[in-house]
Structure 1
Amino acid sequence: MRKVLWRTAVAVSVAVVAVGTAGAATTATLAVGFTTPKMHSFDYSADTTIAGNNLSVTTRFAKVSVSMSPDSELHVRADGSYRGDTPTVDISEDGSTIAVECSYRKRGSCDIGLELRIPAGLIVDIDAAAGDVELSDVDAQASVSTSAGSVTARGSAGTLDITTGFGDVDITDAAVSTVEVDTTFGRVALDSRVPPDSVRVQNMQGDSMIELPAADFYDVEATSEKGDVDIDVVDDPNSPRSVSITSEDGQISVQRR
């Protein structure tokens, strides 16, 4: 009889512990569920006129895409989803600055895309801390900087000045007069359909692949401390078209298009 009572007591104790553990897990799950913000959709659009020739864009997490406006106005659209704090898009009264803010604090998240259609002939400065930037057929003096994002430019004209910390740079079908790229960790690719006046690439740890029209000569300086260098264009020190590429740990290729 005593053995039966003892076994019963043990069984009850184990059941209490199991129920308590399950209850604690359920409570923790409910707590996380209550503290995690719900997902919301975001949609914003605006059309404005830019006073002057300068446009400055800043964002921390939004993906930025830029193309040409069909008219003389600046067209802005932002959409996506978020948790927590509602994203904001602030455009200055003269249209020269755009600031997009979205937050990851307090279990929040932000997946926002910013689409800009800009008038021709602008001086554009884009600071995207952790977002990718894409330029499509943009004719402008464009400057792009990111800390942890990639930069893609297709069919660009004017000039390009790109700085990245961690991210690839891919420039295709370019018709720019000058290109400057400065990156720490990332691959750099440039395909130019017209002979540029100046190309300068500084890439600490990543390969650099340059393709230029074969009909012209170039004054090429290409050095890599720990990577191979392959030059297949006509290298003429007297050429007014300069190509300078440096790397600490990456291969360099300058080829005929």
Structure 2
Amino acid sequence: MKKALWRNVVAVSVAVVVVGTAGAATAAAIVEGFSTPKMQSFDYVENHAVTGNNLAFTTRFAHVTVSMSPDSEVHVRVDGSYRGDIPTVDISDDGSKVAVECSYRQRGSCDIDVELRIPAGLILDIDGAAGDVVLSDVDAQTSVSTSAGSVVARGSSGTLDITTRFGDVDIADAAVSAVEVDTTFGQVVLDSRVPPDSVLVQNMQGDSMIELPAAEYYDVEATSEKGDVDIDVVDDPTSPRSVSITSEEGQISVQRR
């Protein structure tokens, strides 16, 4: 009887420990559930006049789409979802600076899209970090700088200056006078429907594929230390239209459109 009683005492003690541990885990899960912020929706709209010809946009995580304004104002729309601190949208009094930020501190998260519609002819400077940038029929002197985001441009005119480390660059149906791309690991694609005055691409490890109108001659300088180089346009050193592409490991292709 004493052995049976001892076994019962041990079994009950183990059960108490198991139940207590499970209860503690459940309590911890409940506490964490209450302490973790819930996802919430975010929607912001603002139209603002611009003084001068410059517009600077900055962000770290937002995905950005830029198109043309139907009037002389800058139209800003930000929407998406967030957890924790509410995203911030700051527009300077003269409309020349727009900043959109969201926080990841204290279990926060943020997934937001920014739509900018801008007047034609601006000097546009976009400074991002991890978000993608899409330009749709943008007529501006455009400069885009990102760390890990890709840059897509469709039907752009004016000029393009793009710098990114890990993102791809895809420029299609372009009518820009000058294009400059500097990337480390991304793929660069340029399709120009009008002959550009200047093309400068520096791509360390990614491939570069360029298509230009065949009616013009170009002064082409294309070199890759380890990749193949294929030039199919008319290469004329006396041409005022310059095309310079350099790479360490990527392949280079300059073709007739």
TM-score range, shorter chain: over 0.9
Per the alignment, residue 69 of structure 2 pairs with 69
CA distance in 1, matches of 2:168, 2:70: 30
CA distance in 2, matches of 1:110, 1:195: 41
The code of the aligned residue for 2:191 comes to D
Deviates more, 1:242-251 or 1:31-40: 31-40
Residue correspondence of structure 1 range 177-196 to structure 2 within 5 A: 177-196=177-196
Per the alignment, residue 50 of structure 2 pairs with 50
CA distance in 2, matches of 1:102, 1:214: 46
Per the alignment, residue 169 of structure 1 pairs with 169
Per the alignment, residue 19 of structure 1 pairs with 19
Per the alignment, residue 239 of structure 2 pairs with 239
Q: Secondary structure at the match of 1:61?
A: coil
Flag structure 1 segments of 5+ consecutive residues without an equivalent: none
- Percent sequence identity is 81
Flag structure 2 segments of 5+ consecutive residues without an equivalent: none
Q: State the Cα distance separating 1:256 from its structure 2 match.
A: 1.1
Q: Secondary structure at the match of 2:44?
A: strand
For residues 40-75 of structure 1, the C-alpha deviation after alignment (integer angstroms, 9 at most, x for no partner) is 111111111111100010111111110001111111
Per the alignment, residue 255 of structure 1 pairs with 255
For residues 60-96 of structure 1, the C-alpha deviation after alignment (integer angstroms, 9 at most, x for no partner) is 1111110001111111111111011111111111111
CA distance in 1, matches of 2:10, 2:175: 81
CA distance in 2, matches of 1:169, 1:105: 31
TM-score, normalised to structure 2, is 0.97
Answer yes or no: is 1:36 the counterpart of 2:20.
no
Q: Secondary structure at the match of 1:237?
A: coil
CA distance in 1, matches of 2:145, 2:231: 28
CA distance in 2, matches of 1:9, 1:40: 51
Residue correspondence of structure 1 range 120-135 to structure 2 within 5 A: 120-135=120-135
Q: State the Cα distance separating 1:35 from its structure 2 match.
A: 2.1
**Deviation >3 Å, runs of 4+:** none
The code of the aligned residue for 2:169 comes to V
Per the alignment, residue 98 of structure 1 pairs with 98
Count of residue pairs the alignment pairs up: 257
Deviates more, 1:159-168 or 1:27-36: 27-36
The code of the aligned residue for 1:54 comes to N
CA distance in 2, matches of 1:204, 1:35: 46
Q: Secondary structure at the match of 2:13?
A: helix
Q: Secondary structure at the match of 1:185?
A: coil
Q: State the Cα distance separating 1:225 from its structure 2 match.
A: 1.4
For residues 165-200 of structure 1, the C-alpha deviation after alignment (integer angstroms, 9 at most, x for no partner) is 111111000000000000111111111111111000
Q: Secondary structure at the match of 1:160?
A: strand
Q: State the Cα distance separating 1:120 from its structure 2 match.
A: 0.5
Residue correspondence of structure 1 range 196-215 to structure 2 within 5 A: 196-215=196-215
TM-score, normalised to structure 1, is 0.97
Q: State the Cα distance separating 1:7 from its structure 2 match.
A: 2.1
Q: Report the RMSD for the aligned CA atoms in angstroms.
A: 1.0
Q: State the Cα distance separating 1:108 from its structure 2 match.
A: 0.4
Q: Secondary structure at the match of 2:204?
A: strand
